[in-house]
Chain A
Amino acid sequence: MSTAGASPAPAGFAAAGSAAPASATTAPANLSEDQTAALQEIANIGMGQAGDSIARIWKQFVALSVPRIALVESGRIPTLIHHFVGDARVSAARQAFHGAMRGEVLVVIGRGNRDQLGELMGYDGQLDLGEEQEMLLDIANVLGGACIGGIARQLGADVGFSAPSLIGTDLDSHAVVRPEELCVSTALCVEVCFTIESNQLSAHLIALMPREELVNLAQLLDRFLCNL
């Protein structure tokens, strides 16, 4: 997968629900096969709903990739992001979510027509730097809220969000996350790519949950499976 992103992930990949680039991942030790499959299913539905809501608020057609789920060694996260996003210059923001599920969402946005996008979000005329940053934060907030919110709702989990913060604009995709600032050793990674065709916007959402949190997630998934 490179920058374009909206093309569906390879079938085997999505079905297995594990393993993105083989080198960057290990099997999700703390989630059983059933739990992983359920998570994949929930993510598929949640992201679909998210895409639908986003399409409604932005009144644009939004294409989504099949979410990819993998347990990742944190040292590999930068490589993984580069793998998802490709070589392009990007802008990025992060947002924390907490409650029954805890983690961070990274939203990485590639090239796009900023001014058109700004128009879409209700800005007038050409964007200044502050507006561009605000828009980036808003996109991160909307995507993060829709996706994590969608998953949480299906799991019947209560999740809150902190205000998003800026990582940077015009970054090298390797620089979105620096390994030295990571404080967990392994994380569950859920990746999905949104594309708004009319604005050539492509945004990758990468939700990361520390491995320790998987205990909670596993419980939620079990509850979900029981209620089926």
Chain B
Amino acid sequence: MDENTDLKLLGFIVERLEVGILAIDPQFRVVLWNRFMETHSGRDLDSMRGQCLFESFPELPERWLRRKIESVFELGNYSFTSWEQRPYLFRFQHNRPITGGVDAMRQNCTFLPLRDASGVVRLVVLTLSDYTDTALIQQKLTAAMAVSDEERRKQRALLRRLQDAKAQLFQSEKLASIGQLAAGVAHEINNPVGFVTSNLGSLERYLIDLTTLIESYASHADQLPPAAAEAVRRQREKLDYDFIREDLGALIRESREGLDHIRRIILDLKDFTRVDQSGWQLADLEKAFDSTLNVVWNELKYKATIVKDYRHPPQVECIPGQINQVLMNLLVNAGHALGEKGEITLRTGPDPSEVTGAVAEVWVEVEDDGCGISVEHQKRIFDPFFTTKPVGQGTGLGLSVSYNIIRRHGGRIDVRSTVGVGTCFRLTLPVQRSEVADAVSESPDLAAEVTPEELLALEGPDGA
């Protein structure tokens, strides 16, 4: 091949290559404009030759493009644009008149410096490759990835719900068995307490009869022979009969009080274990405090001084069994926090006399002057299974379950704590069952949303 055919061949390639090729001089005038450019721009070489690029295509980003081309003239280096950052330089129709998918042809551009023999850059050649197909594939890929991301997110959410549900199940099973045990014990105690109470009644009556009888003997003591009267008197003194008579009444009274106390505890226990009579009712939170306190009294009595600061707020609509459960968790935690000895303050509010208008929210607080919770731990105490207690003392479920219960009531649970000073948990509950609460508590439960296969998939061989 001679030089001429070489040049012809080159000319042909430049002309027919499926790549846009144009060349511009330092005044941004077009000197080369190949077939690809003609076809897509609708302007032929003759009309473009010698024209300033920016006058022919005012829609080009002139300031930026000038800088870019100038820098190629100046530095004599390649420069590039990519469709990913700049979809196109020239707005051309894409090659998909039928199947569509993008608004215009996606382009990758290369700016080539063309030096003369002395090494000075005389022209900048701009090549334009059609990247529409790549862009479309990328678009699909991105969409597919978004879908799988979304799926993963859903799975994670599901997993968390599962964990919550598991935790709740665990805790409510624990409580249910405590409740059953308590109910069983209460029942067992109820019988003996019943007959002790009735026997005590009889005993009291008999004692009154007996003392009456003794008194009536005593009133005839003067009719006894002096020796016998003396013996009776001495006997009476030796036994301290007067004291016995006085003390009997007190003993009986105290026993009756004791029995009353037992009966109240049994009632509270029954009240408390009403967990599954889970209806919404109006309840007095102070009463709930008191009956819960009775239930956990055994754990607290040796170390805690209980201070009650009640302001008699109105009743709230709630599921009392669940609220009792929360209060018990808080009281037990407070008791644990005290260590040897301390004070627990139960507070309620607001004071209705200080509220103008209807009371919308009622709050209760359990404050202790115990060990406190560090700031890092405060972020985690509501997580299921977070505990700082030794195995056997804590499962780390109390607060997470409490949190869920309060959330389902449309309320809040807040904590204030300083290490070494103490902790205060505050529950805030709407007086009236709110729509939010309904929405949360009646949201379809797990079984409805998670199919067994999904559960299996999530649980894996050794559980989630």
Mark A residues whose CB is within 8 Å of B.
Answer: 53-54, 56-57, 121-124, 130-131, 133-134, 137-138, 141-142, 145-146, 149, 160-161, 163-164
Contacts and interface: CB of A to CB of B under 8 A. Distances in A.
B74 interface: yes
A224 B26 CA distance: 33
A137 B82 contact: yes
Contact of A142 (B65, B75, B84): B75
Interface string B77-115: 111111011100000000000000000000010100000
Label chain B's interface by main secondary structure: mixed
Interface of B: 61, 63-68, 70-71, 74-82, 84-86, 108, 110
Given A134-B81, A141-B77, A146-B77, A121 B110 contact: no
Nearest to A165: B82
Contacts of B75: 53-54, 57, 142, 145-146, 149
A122 B64 contact: yes
B201 to A, nearest CB: 82
16 contacts: A57-B67, A122-B63, A123-B64, A130-B86, A133-B85, A134-B82, A134-B85, A134-B86, A138-B68, A138-B79, A141-B78, A145-B75, A145-B78, A149-B76, A163-B110, A164-B80
B129 to A, nearest CB: 11
A216 B82 CA distance: 32
A131 B85 contact: yes
Label chain A's interface by main secondary structure: helix
Nearest to B65: A122
Contacts of B85: 130-131, 133-134, 137
Nearest to A128: B85
B108 A163 contact: yes
B76 A163 contact: no
A122 B63 CA distance: 5
Given A57-B70, A123-B64, A138-B68, A163 B82 contact: yes
A149 B77 contact: yes
Given A121-B64, A122-B63, A141 B74 contact: no
A144 B203 CA distance: 107
- Residue of B68, B76, B78, B81 with most chain A CB atoms under a 10 A cut-off: B78
A137 B68 CA distance: 12
Given A54-B75, A134-B81, 17 more contacts: A57-B67, A57-B71, A121-B64, A121-B67, A122-B64, A122-B67, A123-B64, A130-B85, A130-B86, A131-B85, A142-B75, A142-B77, A142-B79, A145-B77, A160-B78, A161-B78, A163-B110
Contacts of B77: 141-142, 145-146, 149, 161
A146 B86 CA distance: 23
B118 to A, nearest CB: 14
B80 A163 contact: yes
Contacts of B67: 57, 121-122
Contacts of A160: 78
Nearest to A124: B63
Contact of B68 (A53, A122, A149): A122
B66 A122 contact: yes
A51 to B, nearest CB: 12
Contacts of A124: 63-64
